[in-house]
Amino acid sequence: MSNADASFSLRGVLAEGSGWVLARVRKRKIAAAAILAGLVLIPFLLGWIFSGRRTGDLVVRRGTLSPSVSLAGTLSPARSDSYGAVVPGVELKILWMVEEGAIVNPGDRLIHFDPAPFQKELDTARARAKELGGEADQARLAVEALSLKGAADLEEKKTTTALSERELSTLVNTTAPLTAQESASEVEMRERLLSEAQTKLDGLSPFVAQGYVSQEEYRAAVTRRDQAAADLRLARARYSALVHQTNPDLIRRKAEETEANKHNLQLQQQRGQIERAQAEAAARVAQARLEEANRQIAEAEKKIAACTVLARAPGLAVHSEVFDKGGERRKIRIGDTVWGGTTVVTLPDLSRMQVEGRVPESEIHLLAPGRTARVRLDAFPNLELTGKLKAIGSVGASEKNESRSFPVTIALDQTDPRFRPGMIARCSVLCGKLDNVLYLPIEAVHTDEQGSFVYAVSALGHSSRRLVALGTSTSRYVEVRSGLKTGDVVRVTGE
């Protein structure tokens, strides 16, 4: 490319660039003029748009909604103990009583009743216990003595029975067989003697006729044979009597004696058990009577101890009221007599206080146990307290205007010795915080059979019904969940 051509091309580029710049400048001037004109017209347009709006129309806002429930109640102790005469069915005289309004600590004496009615019971029970104690000791000794005697008698019976059993066993297994064997041996011996005598006699007979043996010798041999025969018959008779009569009779008698001893042993055991059971029953009766006397002693001592009433917990002493003979109510005092079960002194614990009040049914949905509460007492208006919602009652009650309310209890985080039950407390229960929500004053919301609605105002100032969905509400504001947006305008009434 030549220098001339290059110079021409460069001038062309510069010319095109200058034209683009001039065009941009002209466009920006036109836009600025338009913006300036718009700023001039905006006040006129706004005046035209809002010419139909009314004073009191409400603008829907978005922000933080902090619902709370206000209530008034009375101060009361979280715990209050009652003290009085605890012995039922007896009328007691008050000898001393703690001063009303005094601050007492656990273990401090509150009331002292006259113990005289129970002292006589104690003396009588002690005398009775002493008498019955001797009877119980005698009954125990009788049981021990009977046990020893019964054991000795039983041991003697066992020894006799065992001896009889051993004798029977000896008779059956040793004595009877041995005597029978001895008798049998004698029979055998007598048989041999008879045989020998007969043999000798038979040997002498041939020689008697020949005269070699004298008649005297022969007769002596016959006599010996006859004596041997008689001895054999006697031995056999003895054996037969021993085997068939004597030994069986001895065995039977010894067996009967053994059975009798066994039976006597059983009777002795049964008799000992019965006698011991009777003695033990008598001892138990005596012991039961003694225990009853001791129980009466303990009961009388318990009643006497109950005449001095001590505080179980700290608190403020408050005397109960009674009706005098004229029917007038008055504070109970020293010298009065009260029946068992009557409360004489109440001890509210001032270290833990609470507020008891009621909340309308329309606001009960905002509450839940554990919610923080701010509390002020009419008696101390400059003192701000905090607390926690402790409980919500489950049963509502009708008010005079036919609305319903529910009881609530707020436990205070702080206490003060100056606090007294019954003081008026004004509370505000904080019901949480809702961030970045749409909300309206509650008077702008209406309800009919179709649901909740508002009167929405248009740009020209005309109002119309618009259904809305609501959320959490307070005494002044209500959350709008749908149906409106930020900046919308609503009218309290549709006129």
How would you label 398-421 residue by residue, b for 16+ Cβ within 10 Å and e otherwise?
A: eeeeeeebbbbbbbbeebeeebbe
pLDDT of the residue at 98: 95
**SS3 letters across the chain:** CCHHHHHHHHHHHHHHHHHHHHHHHHHHHHHHHHHHHHHHHHHHHHHHHHHHCCCCCEECEEEEECCEEEEEEEEEECCEEEEECCCCCCEEEEEEECCCCCEECCCCEEEEECCHHHHHHHHHHHHHHHHHHHHHHHHHHHHHHHHHHHHHHHHHHHHHHHHHHHHHHHHHHHHHHHHHHHHHHHHHHHHHHHHHHHHHHHHHHHHHHHCCCCHHHHHHHHHHHHHHHHHHHHHHHHHHHHHHHHHHHHHHHHHHHHHHHHHHHHHHHHHHHHHHHHHHHHHHHHHHHHHHHHHHHHHHHHHHHHCEEECCCCEECEECEEECCCCCEEECCCCCEEECCCEEEEEECCCCEEEEEEEEHHHHHHCCCCCEEEEEECCEEEEEEEEEEEEECCCCEECCCCCEEEEEEEEECCCCCCCCCCCEEEEEEECCCEEEEEEEEHHHCEEECCEEEEEEECCCCCEEEEECEEEEECCCEEEEEECCCCCCEEECCCC
Mean pLDDT of 439-454: 89
- 241 and 180 in contact (C-beta within 8 Å)? no
Tell me which residue of 307, 415, 353 sits closest to 84, measured CA to CA. 307
pLDDT of the residue at 346: 93
Confidence of residue 42 (pLDDT cuts 50, 70, 90): very low
pLDDT per position as a tens digit, 392-429: 988 878 776 667 889 999 999 998 888 989 999 999 89
pLDDT of the residue at 48: 37
Confidence of residue 17 (pLDDT cuts 50, 70, 90): very low
Tell me which residue of 339, 320, 347, 346 sits closest to 85, measured CA to CA. 339
Confidence of residue 202 (pLDDT cuts 50, 70, 90): confident
Statement: the pTM of the whole predicted model exceeds 0.85: no
Mean pLDDT of 141-154: 87
Angle at 374 between CA 372 and CA 379, to 5 degrees: 145
Residue 21 pLDDT > 60? no
The answer for residues whose C-beta is within 8 angstroms of residue 30's C-beta and 6 or more apart is none
Tell me which residue of 112, 132, 160 sits closest to 294, measured CA to CA. 132
Mean pLDDT of 427-454: 87
CA–CA dist 67, 433 (Å, integer)? 7
Q: Which of 103-117, 347-361, 415-429, 468-482 has the lowest mean pLDDT?
A: 468-482
Max avg pLDDT among 109-113, 140-144, 164-168, 222-226: 109-113
Residue 141 pLDDT > 50? yes
pLDDT of the residue at 3: 36
Select the more confidently predicted residue: 173 or 399: 173
CA–CA dist 67, 474 (Å, integer)? 5
CA–CA dist 423, 375 (Å, integer)? 12
The answer for residues whose C-beta is within 8 angstroms of residue 239's C-beta and 6 or more apart is 180, 183, 184, 186, 187
pLDDT of the residue at 302: 93
pLDDT of the residue at 354: 94
Residue 220 pLDDT > 80? yes
- 492 and 59 in contact (C-beta within 8 Å)? no
Exposed/middle/buried for residue 225 (C-beta within 10 Å: 0-12, 13-18, 19+)? buried
CA–CA dist 235, 243 (Å, integer)? 12
Mean pLDDT of 274-285: 89
In the structure encoding, which two tokens stand for residue 443, read together? 């008077």
In the structure encoding, which two tokens stand for residue 357, read together? 């009040």
- 81 and 313 in contact (C-beta within 8 Å)? yes
Confidence of residue 146 (pLDDT cuts 50, 70, 90): confident
Tell me which residue of 413, 418, 409, 283 sits closest to 356, measured CA to CA. 409
Percent of the chain with pLDDT strictly greater than 90: 39
pLDDT per position as a tens digit, 354-394: 999 999 888 888 888 999 999 999 999 999 999 999 999 88
Characterize the bridge pairing of strands 337-339 and 318-319.
unpaired
Reported residue count of the chain is 495
Select the more confidently predicted residue: 474 or 328: 328
Q: Which of 31-40, 106-115, 163-172, 244-253 has the lowest mean pLDDT?
A: 31-40
Mean of the per-residue pLDDT values for the chain? 84
pLDDT of the residue at 41: 45
Mean pLDDT of 78-91: 89
Number of CB atoms found within 10 A of residue 144's CB: 12
pLDDT per position as a tens digit, 230-249: 999 999 999 999 889 998 99
pLDDT of the residue at 55: 66
pLDDT of the residue at 201: 84
Residue 492 vs residues 67, 437, 454: alpha-carbon distances, Å: 21, 20, 8
Greatest Cα pair distance in the chain = 218
CA–CA dist 468, 457 (Å, integer)? 14
pLDDT of the residue at 10: 32
Percent of the chain with pLDDT strictly greater than 70: 87
- 309 and 87 in contact (C-beta within 8 Å)? no
Confidence of residue 275 (pLDDT cuts 50, 70, 90): confident
Exposed/middle/buried for residue 60 (C-beta within 10 Å: 0-12, 13-18, 19+)? buried
Select the more confidently predicted residue: 357 or 59: 357
CA–CA dist 95, 403 (Å, integer)? 51
Strand partners, 347: 81
- 192 and 231 in contact (C-beta within 8 Å)? no
pLDDT of the residue at 365: 83
Strand partners, 457: 463, 489
